Amino acid sequence: MDWAKRLEKLLKLIQLITLRVSIVITHRDPDSISAAKGMKKLFEFFGKSVDIYYCYRKDDQGNEEIFPQTQAIINEFRLDDDFMPIELFTDEKQKDAFIVVVDAPTLNNSRLNIPVKSKPRITVDHHYQPAECGEKEDDESWYWFEPLGAAASMVAKLLFDLKVPFSKPDAVATLLMIGIKNDTAETNSLDMSTLDYQMLAELSKYHEQKQIYEIATQAVSEGFWELAAIAGKKENQRKHGTVFIASVGDITPDNEPDHLRIVRMMQATEGVKTSHAWGLSGRYLIIKSRNDNKEVDLNKVLAVFGEVNGGSKANAGGIVMDLGPIGETKNRAAFHEAVWRWLEEKLIH
């Protein structure tokens, strides 16, 4: 890939934009939020008008489910007015929008609350591109797919290479650092790449350390110990060779950081090369996965649940799958056992 030519094409595409830029993220986590804010900074530098839309799931009362860490970042950086729920991205607005997608390879995603019919013109994503994504780059689009630690690293590179200035300190630079550190488990992830390290070094010249400290030092919740107690019971574990599967029971969006901690602890178990921690959130099946086995393609393993339900990088991934009305059964114990049998068939390779 000739990066200079790729940048030249992107720059020409940006300069020709006459429509309002609409950035879409399929979920709100630190990496998605920071990448979206970084892309907004880029487009605004070139004089474009920008909106950011986000997708989300609803709880049983119809309210948005939001992860505690995401809310902490929104509060710390005062981002309430920067992100609009996807239902506001109406068909009429879609017709007059230049659509940009970050931290997802496609808009063909189960997290979308409404269908987005228009093809993205720019996509930046650090996961593997699903085989059935369907969208191919042409003369009027620009797609960058590369399996890296974080989408925030890719966006940071675009900002630096296109000479977008940062202040000292700079809120977007700080957000991008948080996004990279969060999605790479504080740089401990096996998906951590040279680019991720390089961008952390460059962004460190402009970040606000106090804000990073405020986000990074959130206390472990009581929910973590509850999930750990469930996952730690022998009856909630299955081990097949180097594959370790554990149930964390019924969970809520508040458990998202705790769910991730559990699967990282499982992966640190002696003799384990692939870990899957699963739980049920209402009618949704949620799986967090980690993999150190070079002979296992985690993306293919998770693809059995449908490529629109999630995916992975080389060593980390997960799915969010709507199980439909059957997922609302009141007999949770029997349902958990049925899911167990189904997951063992799907995840043992």
Q: C-alpha distances in angstroms, 328 versus 13, 284, 333, 335?
A: 47, 9, 12, 9
Give residue 245's identity as a one-letter amino acid code. I
Output the furthest CA–CA distance in the chain (Å, rounded): 60
Q: Do the beta carbons of residue 129 and residue 145 sit within 8 Å? A: yes
Beta bridge partners of 98: 21
Residue 133: CB atoms within 10 A of its CB come to: 18
Domain boundaries, the chain: 3-216, 222-347
How far apart CA 64 and CA 52 sit, in angstroms, is: 17
Give residue 274's identity as a one-letter amino acid code. T
Q: Which of 23, 27, 69, 82 is nearest to 259 (CA)?
A: 69
Residues 92/93/96/100 CA torsion (nearest 10 deg): -140
Look at the domain 222-347 and name its fold.
Diaminopimelate Epimerase; Chain A, domain 1 (3.10.310)
How far apart CA 112 and CA 78 sit, in angstroms, is: 24
> Average pLDDT for consecutive 10-residue bins of the chain (349 residues)?
93 96 93 97 97 83 75 89 92 93 83 77 82 72 93 98 96 96 85 94 94 76 86 93 94 81 89 93 90 86 76 77 84 88 85
Classify domain 3-216 at the CATH class level.
alpha beta
Taking only the tens place, the pLDDT of each residue in 101-128 is 999 888 876 667 677 878 899 999 998 6
Taking only the tens place, the pLDDT of each residue in 256-299 is 778 888 998 898 898 999 999 999 988 889 999 999 888 888 88
Q: C-alpha distances in angstroms, 104 versus 13, 113, 141, 198?
A: 20, 15, 16, 22
How far apart CA 312 and CA 147 sit, in angstroms, is: 9
